[in-house]
Amino acid sequence: MKSENIRNLFSGVAYCVCGAKMSLIQGTIYPFYYCQGRLRGLGCTRHALPYKALEAAFKILFLKVPALLASNTDNSTQAELEALQGKLITTETQIANITEAVKQGKATGALTIAQAELESEVEEIKASIEQAQAKSGNYKTDEQQAKKILASLDSLAADMGLRRQVREWIFSNVEKMVFNGDKQQFAIQFRKGVRALYQFKNKYTEGEATFIPDFPKA
């Protein structure tokens, strides 16, 4: 198998706060994360960020995220499933009552129409149940993959197989990352609706992640 060198884990989801994409640029000493708008002289003046600090930040964020996704998404999907199953039972009971009435010779035009409507409703509920089940199934895969990645994150820099897994996880779980080099921070939006802000400290050697309701303004 071809071993592909994944240098930039965040390609495809990383943007500068000005709206341009971020690029990995090999500096004289370190690789930097640079705004393409600035590189092309399009008016952005935001500072670059040291790329290695971003991967270190991602480890910290990764540690916080799986548990958070677990409590939010799992519960809501489960609740949705239970509500749908309850609705299915109610609707099927109504159909059974109509069928019984028809058997007893009490069929009317109105009842027949009601039965047809209920039957199409049952079809819709069943489709929604399938969707909800698929959603919770996908979620479990992501959570398992997240746990596996978490267990071996210390070797992220060198392990190409792990880098590939992390990038896949980012593709399926991260909607967008918005960098602000001037403030030494980035905001990240996960596909499941969670947003976090990562603030670097002590010249990018440390940092802190907090969950936020909205992306910060440029």
CA-wise closest residue to 87 among 110, 114, 118, 113: 118
To Zn ion, the closest distance from the beta carbon of 154 in angstroms equals 32
Instruction: By CB under 5 A, tell whether 35 contacts Zn ion.
Output: yes
Contacts with Zn ion in 146-185 (CB under 5 A)?
A: none
Find the part of the chain contacting Zn ion (CB under 5 A) among 18-26, 70-78, 83-91, 166-174.
18-26
- Of 77 and 189, which CB lies nearer to Zn ion in the complex structure? 189
By beta-carbon proximity to Zn ion, the closer residue of 43 and 109 is 43
**Quick one: 38 or 163, whose CB is closer to Zn ion?**
38
| Strand 206-212, strand 185-190: pairing | unpaired
CA 150 to the chain's CA centroid:
17
What is the closest distance, in whole angstroms, from the C-beta atom of residue 218 to Zn ion in the complex? 9
| Closer residue to Zn ion (CB): 16 or 69 | 16
Q: What gap in Å lies between CA 104 and CA 97, rounded to an integer?
A: 11
Q: Residue 198's Cα: distance from chain center in Å?
A: 17
Q: Is 18 a residue that touches Zn ion (CB under 5 A)?
A: yes
Rounded to the nearest whole angstrom, what is the least distance from the CB of residue 124 to Zn ion in the complex? 46
User: Is the Cβ of residue 173 or residue 189 nearer to Zn ion in the bound state?
Assistant: 189
Q: Residue 179 Cβ, how far from Zn ion at the closest point, in Å?
A: 8
Candidate residues 37, 50, 66, 207; the one interacting with Zn ion per rule CB under 5 A: 37
Contact assessment for residue 198 and residue 207, using Cβ atoms and an 8 Å cutoff: yes
Query: Which residues here bind Zn ion, judged by CB under 5 A?
Result: 16, 18, 20, 35, 37, 44, 46
